[in-house]
Amino acid sequence: MKSRLNLYTQEFRPRREWGTLPQILLAWGLISLLLLSYGLYSHWQHQRQSRQLAQLQGQLTVVKAEASRLEAQLAKHQPSPALVASLKEKQLRADGMQLMLQRLDQLAPERVQSYADLLADLAQIMSPKLSLERIQVEQERVSLAGETQSSQEVPAWVERFKQTHTLSGKQFSELALSRDKEGRLLFELRGTPQEKAQ
């Protein structure tokens, strides 16, 4: 019978050696490669953020310049004297109408209705070249005052009184035309009492 004898025991087998020069060089090479990759990535990120920051700073500079320009424009902007004068005039008219409404509220209801009819008739025949600033009614006597663009406009407007119910048949004793300090042409119609007209 044959038997085998193994003379190549574990002791004679080659052992794996750690920490040899090629292994250390390979490890250092891998670590260097990782560090270099991380450094390149960090540098790329930094450059990208720097570009974004520069872009945002440029936009901020443009916005600040535009804001400064608009502020300077706003500081130079002054309201037109003609618009201010027109606004004051309209406020005075509104105040006058408000006062007239307050006085109308104090009158008897039948007088208020007659005033309402009178105002409706005046609104119906109103001319764009003429504006009323004062209406005065004393019993049957009506006096009107305001501003006109031409002296011919007032007689033409008075002629249209015949088309109304409240002003038809009213007579006026005087028409006065004058200019104020601002050069506006003002008129005043003074009514004649009904008894004297007959």
CATH code for the domain in which residue 147 is found: 3.30.980
More confident residue, 140 or 47: 47
User: Sorting pLDDT into bands at 50, 70 and 90, what band is 109?
Assistant: low
- Average model confidence (pLDDT) for the chain? 83
More confident residue, 140 or 181: 181
Single-letter amino acid, residue 20: T
pLDDT score recorded for residue 107: 62
Check whether 74 has a pLDDT greater than 60.
Answer: yes
What pLDDT digit, counting tens, does each position of 143-195 carry?
899 999 888 999 999 899 899 988 888 888 888 999 999 889 999 988 886 54
Range 28-54 average pLDDT: 91
Check whether 30 has a pLDDT greater than 90.
Answer: yes
Task: Tell me whether residue 175 is in a domain.
Answer: yes
Range 108-126 average pLDDT: 75
User: What is the Cα–Cα distance from 48 to 50, expressed in whole angstroms?
Assistant: 5
Range 125-141 average pLDDT: 85
Lookup result for tokens 């960090």: 42
Task: Tell me whether residue 157 is in a domain.
Answer: yes
- Based on the structure, what is the number of domains in the chain? 1
Task: Tell me whether residue 22 is in a domain.
Answer: no
Task: Provide the residue count of the chain.
Answer: 198
Task: Tell me whether residue 26 is in a domain.
Answer: no
Q: Which of 15-29, 87-101, 107-121, 154-168 has the lowest mean pLDDT?
A: 107-121
Q: What is the pTM of this model?
A: 0.42
- Residue 165: count other Cβ atoms within 10 Å of its Cβ: 11
Mapped onto helix, strand or coil, the DSSP state of residue 41 is: helix
- Domain span at residue 134 reads 81-197
Q: CA quadruple 191, 196, 168, 166: dihedral positive or negative? A: positive
Task: Tell me whether residue 50 is in a domain.
Answer: no
Task: Tell me whether residue 65 is in a domain.
Answer: no
Check whether 21 has a pLDDT greater than 80.
Answer: yes
**Residue 159 has which token pair?**
């002629």
Task: Tell me whether residue 63 is in a domain.
Answer: no
